[in-house]
Chains A and B, each alone.
Chain A
Amino acid sequence: MTATQIPTRAAPTQEAPRRRPLPLRRLVPYGYLSPVIVLMIVLMIVPVVVVIRYSFLDNVIMTPTSSLVGWHNYVTVLGDPLFRTAARNTAVFTSVSVAVHLLLGLAFAMLLNTTLLGQRTKTVFRTIFVMPWLLTVAIIAILWRLLLDPNGVVNYGLQGVGLIDTPVAWFSDLNLALPAVTFVNIWAGYPFFMVSLLAGLQGISADLYEAAAVDGASWLQRFVHVTLPSLRPIIVSMALLDLIWTSQQFPLIWMTTGGGPLDRTEMLSTYTYKLAFSKYEFAWASASAVVLLVLAMVLAVFYVRYQRARD
């Protein structure tokens, strides 16, 4: 090992004045960021802090003075049987929606990625499959309320083919309301999975499939050992995001069933809304919202960790 000689620069005849960073210069990056920082503080941090504060107070908003009640609001909300029903419904609604979103999205993405169909056919399918994504929640709710109405097209069709004798009130039936509203949510949400997974499928190298085929792998083996591992990062990210979004779904439930019949489609979001704007119990509603926030944050932490691990 030989020592390397580092070339040295000739010392300047006159030492250049050292530039000390001015305080203003150090603020430059913050200056650029300040509009976003202010927006985030005002629109996100402040409301969240206010709601957390409300959740520890008594009779907020409705009375001029409020007193600190500690965890009392949380005890009240968590002890409410309707909260537990709402939590259970939310869990069922969310888990089924996410699972079927994933399955449907993957199935349609693979259909659109197959070489067995012509380009024109795939374009037609892609246009049809992506359509639910183009509609707003309000339109989706109205559309399905009309379709699933006892006098609607779905009942007419089912009666026409002899599957049912009398019209079914899908959103009003105690046993069918939750499946019906979950179905609508699945219909509205699968295109997001489909588009993302299609992009993922198109990024998988054909070499991998060829190598697997040379090794004698069947279609199923190629799917299990090539496709799924390649899509895993997208699937996990999408599933976590969908869990967060679906667990907070409010407008679709509100505009189709309103949480009814009875408490059959009551979700944590509709439960919280009713506490605030029907019962005017804003402190309880704040506690319920904070519980929902904590659940979403747990999922968000998983998502961020996963993203970091990927990076």
Chain B
Amino acid sequence: MADVIAAEFAKLRRSGVPWVTAAVMVVAVLGAALLIWIVRDPERAASLGLLGTKANLAGLEATWTAFGTYVTAIAGAGGLLLLAFVVTYLFGREYADDTAKNMLGLPTPRWRFVVAKLAVAAAWWLALVALLLAAAFGTGALLDLDGFSGAAAAGIVGGTLFAAGVSFLLVPVCAWITIATRSYLAPLGFALGMLLLGNLLGHTEWASWFPWSIVALLATGAGGPTVLPWTSYAVLVATFAAGVAGAIHRLAHADNP
């Protein structure tokens, strides 16, 4: 198994995609920082017109707590899209580069490729979250936000890691769709559609049952994660298990022309 994981990491050598995802993370933090920089000065907000209006509408305050909530949302709801992109790339490139046939003809049980690729996605995601936190603390310090304390910092780190973790539970479904369709578009379209549907259902009584709403609720609840019943966590775990099982079954047993 270690050899397969090492091989999956080796496939990323010289790939530009990890750098693109890192840039997206940093830009997301800088975007939040820009809005905070604008709203902390009403005159500046007024002089910036639409941008100032957007910053005010975002309801951001120049505090570590507000900034932390935004960072958590990046790791949670935003992470769903970025993670879908990462997983779709890891699985989809085998079809785009026409290397799937070489991989599947190797004397290695096929489930190992699914597990190894998800392990690489997890490591990649962890590195991105670490970058997100580093960028957040760096820009927060530069902006000299109010209310810094050890508890606030621990809250931001804990909340972000929790949001990142629950987001990851939903990505194996994207891997499954990538393998089934052998394309990039379908899983990315699916991820975007689920994110929108999750936001819509997030305002209904179905929210605690729909995986993509659950992540949004857990990751963006103001003043800390929303408290959800245990069944919501069971839904997330079941979605993860279904995604992994579906991806393995599809890769191991379906035709791979």
A and B pair up: no
